[in-house]
Structure 1
Amino acid sequence: MLKLNLEDIPRVKSISKKDFLEHYYKPQKPVVLEEFIEDWPAYNTWNLDYFKEIAGDKIVSLYDDRPVSCDDGFNEAHAKMKLNDYIDLLQNGSTKYRIFLWNILKEVPQLQNDFTYPDLGLKLLKKLPMLFFGGKGTHTFMHYDIDLANIFHFHFAGEKEIILFDQNQSKYLYKIPHALITREDIDFSNPNFEKWPALKQANGYKTNLKHGEVLYMPEGYWHYMKYKTTGFSMSLRAIPRHPKHLSKAIYNVFVMRHFDNLMRRLKGQKWIDWKNEQAVKKTTATLNT
């Protein structure tokens, strides 16, 4: 049975600033830090019941795995509810909804007391720690972040499957034009290579994150994440250092997303369908050459 060409992401127990910069940040390679946050209060206290207690009345935006629609704005939420009610759904295993990019310090400032910012040589954006929640079996589409940031991804409670690709693999991934995602009908956990043959040429990385482990994702990396069990994660980010990535981030934020929203309003579903077709045509053309 064919599988994606994925190598295991290197793992270390802990790491010095010097070694991190030399072996991972400068060459832009991912790494998992296994015992890096055990002195954080969050390591022992952050669980679903804790979040119900301190933030249960907060309204959160929710997302599921429905295909992109012309009726939705760029990254527009599919539903909203109180965090208490959402966590109840998670705990009884009855939801496909995920929390995506929840700014915890904006909503619950006291959570800052539960963690510290890693001193590994990156200038982290301290006002933008983001939380992500999901139930067993839920997943994100393969995507990269709009700002192409360097990311530290801290996982809590349970286990999460991670698949990564460098930006230089985009030509094999059926990337949607004017968007940050690949074709949504690709199951990266079990891809259909007859339907998506270019994936056989892509080379990436994989790992499973468990409670307390930290993944460093270099700037602009494609990532697919699937919750093997119910759990949640926090991301801290730093702006991209490579001029090409920084300029692309600026374009994405100030031009691309607004252009895409405009075309959805003007063209409707025809715009979405055209983009999906172009993803196949361009990737197939690359494969043939």
Structure 2
Amino acid sequence: MMKEGMLLTEIPRVSTITKEEFIKNYVRTQTPVVIEHLIDDWPAYKKWNLDYIKEIAGEKTVPLYDDRPISAELKFNEAHLKMKMADYIDLLQTRPTNYRIFLYHLLKEVPSLQKDFKFPDLGLRFLKQLPTLFFGGENSKVFMHYDIDYANILHFHFHGKKQCILFPPSESKFLYKVPNALITREDIDFTNPDFKKFPALKKASGYITNLNHGETLYMPEGYWHQMTYLTPGFSMSLRATARTFTNFSKAVYNLIFMRYFDNYMRKWKGQKWIDYKNEQAIIRTHRKANIKG
């Protein structure tokens, strides 16, 4: 199907799945899939919504992030604002907001939540750390990125609806990837791209789906993903180690060298480094995509 001019295919959906089917059809082929009823037996499936989170975690102070582009003014992953969870959920339920929570350890802050989920038996080598949660308001967007550790990810959505756009690693050459980073240029709106400014996007082939409450999205290793909260809601991710030596090596490189090099350059060159990387994203993409001018 065509979505706003980009070539995006609907992500396959299954109602339920066995471990053998999941490994054979999706993990080995590195194909995304939505599993609609994987967690129906979790207490979280019935309990987790914004009102419940407000009730049990309302007094927690949470870090918030908006959609401002990365700059030299803020440290990497430095919060833009902090707020009580109860006040933040009131904001989500009152009006659209760009403020989001990501990679938040709510299950550590509120241990009772740990009883509400379990690691699915799907043949993945899950990292048995506590999962993190992600919250967003209506129309808030998560920029296009891939994860530093090349994990296989199970992404569970709660409360409302969320649009997910994915691209396999093979499409990186068309996505205006920023050098020494895990993101594309942040001024690209993948829901309505500017093909005059970013013509290589016309050549990219990806996937799209809308996740509903209780549905699970499998994102294979190194997949690009961009999320838009169509309604206020939140999600949780479980991570499993990369299965191939190549991706494991890339993860080690990212964790040990790339992020520290980038942090060093940000401190040394400041905004000039960030501007240089954004320029190179266009130059390198157009060269790889054989686009003149």
TM-score normalised by the shorter chain: which range applies? over 0.9
Amino acid in structure 2 at the alignment position of 1:271 = W
Cα offset, 1:94, TM superposition: 5.0
Equivalent pair of 2:97/2:138 in contact (CA under 8 Å): no
> What is the deviation of 1:142?
0.3
CA distance in 2, matches of 1:148, 1:73: 23
Read off the aligned partner of 2:178 and give its amino acid letter: I
Residue 256 of structure 1: how far off its partner (Å): 1.3
DSSP-derived class of the 2:231 partner? coil
Q: Contact (CA 8 Å) 1:128, 1:237: kept in 2 or not?
A: no
- In the alignment, is the contact (CA less than 8 A) between 2:164 and 2:225 conserved in 1? yes
Unpaired stretches in structure 2, ≥5 consecutive residues: none
Task: Indicate the residue corresponding to 2:68 in structure 1.
Answer: 66
Aligned partners of 1:93, 1:252: CA distance in 2, in Å?
38
2:132 corresponds in structure 1 to 130
How far has the Cα of 1:136 moved from its partner?
0.4
CA distance in 1, matches of 2:110, 2:163: 28
Shift of 1:104: 2.7
Q: 1:73 Cα shift?
A: 2.0
Instruction: Quote the residue 1:47 is aligned against.
Output: 49
- Pairing partner for 1:184 from 186, 189, 194: 186
Residue aligned with 1:276, SS: helix
Q: Which amino acid aligns with 2:75?
A: G
- Partner Cα distance (1:140, 1:71) in 2: 20
Greater shift, 129-138 or 247-256, is seen at 247-256
Q: Give the Å deviation of 1:105.
A: 2.7
Q: Give secondary structure in 2 for the equivalent of 1:142.
A: strand
Contact persistence 1:101–1:132 (CA under 8 A): yes
Q: 2:168 aligns with which of 153, 158, 166?
A: 166
TM-score by length of 1: 0.97
Q: Residues of 2 paired with 1:151 and 1:201: CA distance?
A: 26
SS for the counterpart of 1:140 is: strand
1:100 aligns with 2:102: yes
Number of aligned positions between the proteins: 289
CA shift, 1:75, in A, is 2.3
Unaligned runs of 5+ in 1: none
1:208 aligned counterpart, secondary structure: strand
Q: C-alpha displacement at 1:138, in angstroms?
A: 0.2
Indicate the larger mover: 73-82 or 16-25: 73-82
CA distance in structure 1 between the partners assigned to 2:102 and 2:28 by the alignment: 28
How far apart are 1:95 and its partner, in Å?
2.7
Residue 187 of structure 1: CA displacement? 0.4
Q: What residue identity is the alignment partner of 1:98?
A: R
Q: Superposition RMSD on alpha carbons, in Å?
A: 1.3
Which residue of 61, 84, 87 maps to 1:85?
Answer: 87
The whole-number CA distance in structure 1 between the counterparts of 2:96 and 2:37 is: 32
